[in-house]
Structure 1
Amino acid sequence: MRTMNLGRTKAQVPVIAVGCMRLNGLEEREAERFINGAMELGLNFFDHADIYGKGACEELFAKAVHMDSRKREKMILQSKCGIRPGVAFDFSKKYILESVDGILKRLDTEYLDVLVLHRPDALMEPEEVAEAFDSLEQSGKVRHFGVSNQKPMQIQLLQKYVKQPVAVDQLQFGICHAGMITQGIHVNMEDDAAADRDGSVLDFCRLNDITIQAWSPFQYGYFDGVFFGSEKYPKLNKVIDETAENYGVSATTIAAAWILRHPAGIQIVSGTMNAGRLEEIAQAADIRLTREEWYRIYMAAGNILP
């Protein structure tokens, strides 16, 4: 499996992360087979969050892998905190520290490779976040830190106080959710595609060596559904299918390869719990689409060029 640097850290990670949001939909034996299969593919980066299954996904993961120090060393574990059920968001020092302790207990591990703040907290006090990160780093509970769904100014505000580099920004991105690319193509144009809704976060992350982690890479809209086979995207599916046939792979592989082709070095966060589909996504690491293929797929999704 092809690897990449995670942000400005020295950590080498696979270009595809295994998202575990739906893990609790599997029985323990099924989860064990799925995780072992991912590891055999070289996909040893697992993305969690404390709210996934209200913690059940992390608990099931630990049971399924029969966690011990030997197995833990072969894995890269990332989890997220900050979404507080019954409130909204909470980036207070107390809540972050309590959340991490809960995550570590559920995952049956002494440390996280990456902790991500889950969506922005409007009441964030960056000084408190800095204290929390320092405590977690000094205690050895967390090695690297990141954010999700944050724009450049939010990251810069946080980074003013936090000494640890922000390693990742987890953002929704894919062929049918490519606004961060589209607005860069339509600079100085008077059309909707030129609207900058994220503060040029793609360029910001590239300039600051922050890895973008693409979540829901095959969805259109906000969890409206996958574009594969959708009546809303007949042209896109036709072009993807033709490209897939040329490479002798599946449409899923091509859709993932489209993301990996971008020079920003984006890491895909897969969401499937299907071993066969995960293998198809993994095959994308070995494919480099041509410039012509990439733009053809981009425009087939309804994206226009100025």
Structure 2
Amino acid sequence: MRTIKLGSSNLDVPVIAVGCMRIDSLDKQAAEKFVQGALEEGANFFDHADIYGAGKSEEIFAEAIHMNDDVREKVILQSKCGIREGMFDFSKEHILTSVDGILQRLRTDYLDVLLLHRPDTLVEPEEVAEAFDQLESLGKVRHFGVSNQTPMQIQLLQKFVKQPIVANQLQLSITNANMISNGFNVNMENDAAINRDGNVLDFCRLQDITIQPWSPFQYGFFEGVFLNNDKFPELNKKIDEIAEKYGVSNTTIAIAWILRHPAKMQPVVGTMNMARLKDCIKASEVELTREEWYGIYRAAGNVLP
């Protein structure tokens, strides 16, 4: 699979990340088969979070991959922390404790990447900096990033944190493309012109921060997938036409649409179906034309000014 550099780091990562949020839904045999199948396809970047399956997802993954020193060197592990029941917590104590729990569940001594999950408005960035310094000096985390954060929130962290922020995990799909749409509708009086994220797309490109789109097939906030959905007839018709042209599935085209953007994004796909994961991976071999990209964008109901 094609690779990119993660942010400003020297870490080469596949353009498709395997999201492990739902791996706790698989039994032991199915989880092992899925993980091994992913590795055979070159999908060795696995995205976790301490809240997925209440921690069970990380444990199941470690067991499924038969984690040991040899296996560890062949995979790239990313996890997230900062969400607690009824609150968010970026305190130094919570970050350090969370990472220790993550490492224990994943049966490893270090994470390749740690992301701060959803923004904590009570964050003391000096504490985050102390936590990152300690995790780095102890070799527990090699690279750091964030999730669902605006440019200003990232800049506030960067004022105190010395490690580069290499990734920002954000919701993005063909139907959830406000970070793209507001860039078209500058100074326009319509909903698409509403700047909901502080121009995070352009900011991340300027700062060499890799955007990791999550829920690349969802519309709304986990309302369902748009593929093969009667709510999106024009979009599915357009995607199916292009999929037939390239001899691939509609899943492949939906991911290829994201990869076509020059921001060099790394979609996080959460499927636990091996055939569908393979379709996602094929997207790294498909480069849509400009006409095809805009055709899909407009078919989703996105209006150009």
TM-score range normalised by the length of the shorter chain: over 0.9
- Give 1:168's aligned amino acid: A
Structure 2 residue aligned with 1:27? 27
CA distance in 1, matches of 2:28, 2:101: 21
Q: Secondary structure at the match of 1:267?
A: coil
- 2:40 pairs with 1:40: yes
CA distance in 1, matches of 2:224, 2:18: 19
- Give 2:226's aligned amino acid: F
User: Please, what is the CA RMSD of the aligned residues?
Assistant: 0.5
CA distance in 2, matches of 1:233, 1:58: 35
Q: CA deviation at 1:192?
A: 1.1
Alignment of 1:1-306 (within 5 A): 1-85=1-85, 87-306=86-305
Q: Secondary structure at the match of 2:241?
A: helix
- Give 1:135's aligned amino acid: Q
Deviations 1:231-281 (A, max 9, x none): 210000000000000000000000000000000001010010000000000
Tell me which stretches of 4 or more aligned residues in structure 1 moved more than 6 Å. none
Q: CA deviation at 1:58?
A: 0.2
Q: CA deviation at 1:65?
A: 1.0
CA distance in 2, matches of 1:259, 1:225: 18
CA distance in 2, matches of 1:84, 1:132: 18
- Give 1:144's aligned amino acid: H
List alignment gaps of at least 5 residues for structure 2.
none
CA distance in 1, matches of 2:2, 2:173: 20
- Give 1:27's aligned amino acid: D
- Give 2:58's aligned amino acid: E
Q: CA deviation at 1:61?
A: 0.6
Relative to the length of structure 1, the TM-score reads: 0.99
Deviations 1:130-172 (A, max 9, x none): 0000000000000000000000000000000000000000000
- Give 1:148's aligned amino acid: S
- Give 2:160's aligned amino acid: Y
Deviations 1:56-100 (A, max 9, x none): 000001111110000000000000000012x41000000000000
CA distance in 2, matches of 1:27, 1:232: 33
Q: Secondary structure at the match of 1:39?
A: helix
Q: Secondary structure at the match of 1:292?
A: helix
Q: CA deviation at 1:191?
A: 1.2
List alignment gaps of at least 5 residues for structure 1.
none
Q: CA deviation at 1:29?
A: 1.1
CA distance in 2, matches of 1:271, 1:62: 17
- Give 1:298's aligned amino acid: Y
